[in-house]
Amino acid sequence: MFKEIRIFLTAGIMILWAGNTSAQRIGLLPPKVKWHEIHNDSLRIIFPTGEERMATRIASVMLKLAASDPINTKGRYKPISVILQTQTNISNGYVGLAPYVSEFYLQPFENPFSLGSLPWHDLLAIHEYRHVLQLNAANTGISHTVKKFFGELAFSGMYALSVPNWFREGDAVMAESKWTQQGRGRLSSFTLPFREKLKEGTTWEYYKLRNGSYKYYTPDHYALGYLLIQYGNHVFGEQTWDTILQEAASFKNIIHPFSEPLLRHYGKRTKYFYEDAMKWYAQNWKESQTDDIDYPPIALRNEDLQNDYFDMAYPEVDDDGAIYTAIKTFDRTTAIYKIDSLGKKRKIQSLGLQQDPYFDHQNHRLVWTELRFDPRWIRRDKNVLVVFDERSGHKFTIQPKKGFFTPSLSPNGRRIATLHVDDEDHYNIQIFDANTGGLLGTLPNGDNLYLEYPIWDKDEISILAIARDRSGRMAIISQDIATGNITPITHFSFTILGKPFLHDQWIFLTTNLDTLDQVYAVDRTEGIFYRLTSGNFAHYDPAWDPTTGTIVCSEYHLNGRKLVRVNGRPGRDWKLTGLDNGVKSMEGAATDLLADVEKSGSYTVSNFSMWKDVVNFHSLTLVADDPSWQAEVRSNNVLNNLSIAAGYEYNRNSKAGGPYADVRLGMFYPVISVGVDQSARRVTNTVGQRFRISNDHIHAGLSLPLTYSAGPYQRIVNLSSTYHKGFSRIRPEIASNPDLLYNYISHRIILINSRNMAYRQAMPSWGQRFDLSYSKVSGEPVKYLYVSTDFILPGVQPSHYFNVIGEYLSQKISANTILLSTPFAGARGYDQLNGTKEYRLGLTYGFPVWYPDFGLGSILYSRRVRLQPFYDVAYSDDKNARATWMRSLGAELIVDFQIPPFSIGLRYSKLLSGGNRQSNVFEFFIPVQRF
């Protein structure tokens, strides 16, 4: 019996992939970054050297909000750690659990119509600290009990189940709008999708709106939440929302934790509350509607007009009247196209990773910016300039110290003016040679204005730009290239100013002076605003058409912005004073929280070591991966450079169990991992004698998780090597089964190249994946080599994909020693074999068959169902196999769920040859996301 015993050991290392959760990829910034902190009993701000003033202001704003707008003064409160990230060009922020931490990505967003013009750090401080107050208020009732016994991961799940995402984000947007002179809630662009939908006399079904759709455009939960919070404030007051939040988190109603308290305080459940809110907004907004104005559309082909979503942004008109514009659809990523007078479009270039699809064009040359990730460190990237010559096809990039934004070409296309930000957050307009990429000059900016959308004067002796000052006010300015002198053209105000276009003495741009965002012409010499567009549609990004003397701009529609033509002559309506009328009033607005923030307190600054609080156990988790069951405690520090998982694992089949612990250290360039595990089980032989079989195993390894971004492609390189040492023994001892001491090294290389995916794509239209693993047991003739490849090719439609799968396994197996487990899958539908030589070729064609937009309330919701016909052929020299060649034909039906985010599949396999099972095989499976 004991001669049959083999010890199964896992030879691979966990794949650290950029697209996976933060728990799987660790290491925010390199160890040379010196951190500091300011700390009090309510929060801790962690910041790099040189950001003390920023940290002090953020702390003051947060504490001022906590005192002015508390949710629950008697609730349980836990101080939050806030990390200020200055080396990324991404504008974002979050409050997270497991660990309990917040991060501010401090680079302001370039398009002011998306997030407004207020100082980004102030907006983050209010918005994210409101999330902190929400979390602490929700720490009550059953949620608190779960948190006390199981920690933050379980509490996070309870919070997500009880409090909808629209409430969390809507309440935070309400805070930023209520306590400042702007905020997203005061921008008409923020709620524009709802205005357009209600103008049609209808609205979205509630659950479709909450969960999204692949079939129709739906706005995100931020705007939905703000509108519902504002309506609730109107009908029952802000304090009632605070009560509903705490009652929901208490789970007084297990089935409807949020809807039930809303029913109690409002009289209707969430779905009907939403419908009432939409009726109220429809009536209010109807009063501000004017007569429709139909501006002539730019011609498009029928197939483009019939697209579910077809968005056109930032038009540029060539001298011959051809239009360049950035186009995005549900099935295709953003690209620059050229459209002729008949509506026929030609693709010029696909754009890489961007936060906004801005580009500029002059004389057959184009320029834009793209994100380039640091290969190793998660919170460091650069925003590079990309210069493309349409005639020659030549493309090159210009590297910044930190980032470039909103570049523009000179009229002859030979020079580039762009906003540049360095590592110390200094903003300057820089000028480059468009042929060589050489730096020609840096213009001074003593007031450190945020100078976006620079454009060239016709004589190229000055540059016009949209300036934001330290308070968030905006103005049009002119900067002399020779002297650097900055001259305001309009006065500073909180009115939003968009991308400008200069023609003669007129500066065309979009502002939010009206109920909806409209195009205005500004007299350069007098600074007077003249309205060009009006009506019930918003208009953006004007460009001058020299062939017709008209303006081409984007007109907002729910199925994507479309280009229209507008008269280029200014109208009689004009604005000179009172530009702050662009700031919309709101019900419940309070005193500006940002006033006199600098006087609100002082703080003691101290050094923050990357080893401080490095061990931070936050959660107890129960993991069921049948037949393996685990109880595990987890630790992650706030700088996300040390991860610990320890617990007890039990295998239901083998009846073996034991403790384990794994540690990953990510503060250095290679990730260091160490671990130990032990398992034991008791067996009884045929004569009733009992034995204890135990296995002890330790491992230590290094890995390099690298991510590269280049244009529309992402590349991932994962290199890892791990040393394993183990000891297996049987007690009482048996002469024929002596103790076994073994050690081996496993190596793995993963290479992935994939095209960025469009919104509706389940797989990239082009991609390659190469995975190689090799292990060799020291002193034993045991080794294995495993190689797998995936080649993704375009399908008939953009949302289709064709995957060619290859696998190869070569292994040496020895009796009475260890057996290294491998990920070899083999032909679908067959039992797993164990030969010394095995390989497979698989063909899969995938496509969506249904966009159901259907679910069970907030518990389960599916947006897509896919079908994957396949054909596999495999070979194995396993002596126990019925046949060496196995062929299967079948199909996989995959349901992609949005809530919760996972996929499940049902596979039918017709076994054409070989195998030890029936010829028709049905099985459920969990699809593996390999790209």
pLDDT for the residue numbered 883? 80
Residue-wise pLDDT tens digits, 301-342: 999 999 999 999 999 999 999 999 999 999 999 999 999 989
Res 5: pLDDT: 28
CB neighbours (10 Å) of residue 114? 14
Beta bridge partners of 371: 383
Pairwise pLDDT comparison (792 vs 652), residue with the higher score:
792
Question: What integer pLDDT is reported at residue 3 of this predicted model?
Answer: 30
Predicted confidence at residue 75, as pLDDT, reads: 60
What percentage of the chain reaches a pLDDT higher than 70?
95
Determine how many CB atoms are found less than 10 A away from the CB of residue 504: 8
Kindly state the tokens that stand for 708.
């590269």
Q: How big is the CA angle at 369 (ends 367 and 372), to the nearest 5 degrees?
A: 140
Listed in sequence order, the residues at least 6 apart from 482 whose beta carbon sits closer than 8 Å to its beta carbon are: 461
Do the beta carbons of residue 38 and residue 604 sit within 8 Å?
A: yes
- In whole angstroms, what separates CA 749 from the centre of its chain? 26
SS3 566: strand
Number of residues written out for the chain? 931
Q: What percent of the chain has pLDDT over 90?
A: 77
**Residue 393: what pLDDT?**
95
b/e per residue 383-401 (b: at least 16 CB within 10 A): bbbbbbbbeeeeeebbebe
**pLDDT, position 688:** 79
On the question of pLDDT at 287 being above 60, the answer is yes
Band of residue 656 on the pLDDT scale cut at 50, 70, 90: confident
Q: Residues 194-248: pLDDT tens digits?
A: 999 999 999 999 999 999 999 999 999 999 999 999 999 999 999 999 999 999 9
* Confidence check: pLDDT of 167 > 60: yes
- Stretch 457-463: mean pLDDT: 95
Residue with tokens 């040359």: 365
Banded model confidence at residue 10, pLDDT cuts 50, 70, 90 = very low
Compute CA distances 790 → 340, 714, 895, whole Å. Answer: 39, 15, 22
pLDDT at site 8: 27
Give me the pLDDT at residue 7, please. 26
Does 2 have pLDDT greater than 60? no
State mean pLDDT over 566-585: 81
Q: Check residue 814 and give its pLDDT.
A: 66
Give 288's pLDDT tier (boundaries 50, 70, 90).
confident
Residue 17 pLDDT exceeds 50: no
Band (pLDDT 50/70/90 cuts) for residue 348 is very high
pLDDT-based confidence at residue 815 (cuts at 50, 70, 90): low
Q: What is the mean pLDDT of residues 178-198?
A: 95
pLDDT on residue 73: 60
How large is the C-alpha radius of gyration of the chain?
31
Q: Computed from CA positions of residues 814, 816, 821, 824, in that sequence, does the dihedral angle turn out positive or negative?
A: positive
Kindly report which listed range (217-221, 388-392, 486-490, 816-820) carries the lowest average pLDDT score.
Answer: 816-820
pLDDT of residue 41: 84
For 670-694, write each residue's pLDDT tens digit: 999 999 999 998 888 777 788 888 9
Q: What is the pLDDT of residue 77?
A: 75
Q: Regarding predicted confidence, which is higher, 600 or 704?
A: 704
Calculate ∠ Cα 647-653-659, nearest 5°: 15
Of 503, 524, 521, 502, which is closest to residue 511 (Cα–Cα)? 521
Backbone phi and psi for residue 44, each to the nearest 5 degrees, phi listed first: -135, 125
pLDDT-derived band at 817 (thresholds 50, 70, 90) equals low
* 726-757: pLDDT as tens digits: 998 888 888 777 888 889 999 999 999 999 99
Q: What is the pLDDT of residues 36-47, one digit of tens each?
A: 999 988 899 999
Looking at residue 310, its pLDDT comes to 97
Q: How far is CA 897 from the centre of its chain?
A: 18
Q: What is the pLDDT of residue 913?
A: 86
Q: What is the pLDDT of residues 73-117, one digit of tens each?
A: 666 678 899 999 999 999 999 999 999 999 999 999 999 999 999
Is the whole model's pTM more than 0.85, yes or no? yes
Q: Supply the DSSP symbol for 172.
A: H
Say whether 790 sits in a helix, a strand or coil: strand
Name the average pLDDT for the chain: 91
Q: How far apart are CA 100 and CA 553, in angstroms?
A: 45
The pLDDT confidence band at residue 914, using thresholds 50, 70 and 90, is: confident
Predicted confidence (pLDDT) at residue 653 exceeds the cutoff of 90: no
pLDDT band at 25 (very low <50, low <70, confident <90, very high): confident
Under the banding of pLDDT at 50, 70 and 90, the label for residue 625 is confident
Are 568 and 544 spatial neighbours (Cβ–Cβ below 8 Å)? yes
Cis-peptide into 488, omega within 30 deg: no
